[in-house]
Amino acid sequence: MRQPLAVLGATALLGLSATACSSSGAAPSQDATPAPAVSRAAPSAASTPALAGPTTAEAVIRAVAALKSEQTPAELTVVYDENTDQNHMLGRPGKYTSKASFTDRRIAVSEANDTSKGAVDLGGSVEYFPTEEQAAARAKYIQSALNSVPGLGTEYDFVADSGALLRVSGVLPPSKANAYRDALAQVTGTRVTTMS
């Protein structure tokens, strides 16, 4: 008789401890199976969904150039680091994690407002952000600045869902700039939004 009482007491104790740990306060049913333990470790590579395409600014430009399209003749010119980034944004909280610039041979230097090495006017650049929202906020800021200062020039800004911001020289006509937008969508495998 003592053994069934001991088993009953242990079962009751387990039921009470399960109820005390439950966030809903409801007692578990008799046939409920215990929930699996929650791991606080970083997710493994197998459980983390792979991103569709390149995850750095340099890789995006290289992927676009690898398309070997006459419509997107991007040539990588500068890969920035925290010492060469004139904006002092690279790697800082909420800012881009990588930045690189490219030239487009169809743009004559005489057509550009800014002819310094890496200038968007000579082709464009890619800034890679942790989120699409941060990339979109940066594009809105750039467009606002360009619109508020006459003579500053123009550029096309395209934001990929992956967090890539593609900035294309305003010297190019819209059809040529849109070819870069389409290439960005192709190499990242994500939706791309035109910012204005």
Count of CB atoms within 10 A of residue 12's CB?
A: 10
Cα-based distances in Å from 134 to 64, 121, 127, 138: 22, 23, 11, 6
Residue 50 belongs to a domain: no
Residue 48 belongs to a domain: no
Helices 57-66 and 174-188 sit at what angle, rounded to 10 degrees? 110
Q: Are residues 18 and 99 in the same domain?
A: no
List the chain pLDDT tens, one digit each, 196 residues. Answer: 444 444 334 333 333 333 333 333 434 334 443 333 322 323 333 333 344 578 999 999 999 999 999 999 999 999 999 999 999 999 999 999 999 999 999 999 999 999 999 999 999 999 999 999 999 999 999 999 999 998 888 999 999 999 999 999 999 999 999 999 999 999 999 999 999 8
Q: Are residues 103 and 175 in the same domain?
A: yes
Residue 26 belongs to a domain: yes
Q: Are residues 190 and 127 in the same domain?
A: yes
Grouping H, G, I as helix, E, B as strand and the rest as coil, residue 128 is strand
Q: Are residues 21 and 63 in the same domain?
A: no
| Domain of residue 16, residue span | 1-38
Q: Are residues 72 and 30 in the same domain?
A: no
Cite the beta strand spans of the chain per DSSP E: 74-79, 98-104, 123-128, 155-160, 164-169, 192-195
Q: What is the tally of structural domains in the chain?
A: 2
Q: Model confidence over 85-110: pLDDT tens digits?
A: 999 999 999 999 999 999 999 999 99
Q: Are residues 133 and 181 in the same domain?
A: yes
Q: Model confidence over 119-130: pLDDT tens digits?
A: 999 999 999 999
Residue 51 belongs to a domain: no
